[in-house]
Amino acid sequence: MTTRLIFIRHGQSTWNEARRWQGHADPSLSENGRRQARLLARRLSTWHIAHLYASDLARASETATILGASLGIQPAIDPDWRERGFGVLEGLTSEEIEERYPDVWASRLTGPIIGVSGAEEQADVIARSTAACARLLSRHPGETVAVVSHGGMILTTLVQLLRLPPSGHAILSVGGNTSISRVVVDHGHARLTGLNDAAHLELLED
């Protein structure tokens, strides 16, 4: 039985706008992020999505609320889909991280970032992702399910579903805000059918 999973990165937040790393920090969507979510909703209106899940962090749950209103679906909030906590990196820009924590910054070229004080352990992120995916597949076999989550969490989920090594974090890329990645799971075998698709942002809003 084939189940289709659609992973969506949240719309631009106020911290994305300022190019700050967020993790478990909880900034809201920017006005541009809300516009992105509306364009996303228009794009997905004909995709026959049966169920919609979202991280409990505001930038994801608000994106899902805008999408759900278009689809006629109330999003189910699941904290397991929240972003990895990045400890001391939260609130810093990429430039500040590269300057202050060069070893941490370099680690992202070979796998998930390591050596971050106060960060959530990657093993715990993998456990959350694995459990959340297992619930989706057991609850909704043969259906199309959308999840609004976060760049890092989606990346970890794709690496796990596709059974890639940890270096998969350095091979696949984190998509832009409201980018869509799609996976088809058939009898336990996952295939990537789309990665970081944000064509809807090219549309003109009424």
Q: Could you tell me which residues come within 8 angstroms of residue 142 by beta carbon, excluding any fewer than 6 positions away?
A: 1, 2, 3
51 given a catalytic annotation: no
pLDDT tens-place string over residues 45-93: 999 999 999 999 999 999 999 999 999 999 999 999 999 999 999 999 9
Summarised one tens digit per residue, pLDDT across range 82-135 is 999 999 999 999 999 999 999 999 999 999 999 999 999 999 999 999 999 999
Q: Give the dihedral of Cα atoms 125, 131, 134, 140; nearest 10 deg.
A: -100
Give the fold, CATH level 3, of 2-202: Rossmann fold (3.40.50)
Active-site residue (options: 10, 48, 189, 200): 10
Q: Look up the pTM and report it.
A: 0.96
Catalytic residue, candidates 48, 150, 187, 200: 150
List of residues 6+ apart from 151 with CB closer than 8 A: 9, 83, 174, 175
**Catalytic residue flag (residue 10):** yes
Task: For the chain, give every domain's residue range.
Answer: 2-202
Angle CA 199–145–185, to nearest 5? 95
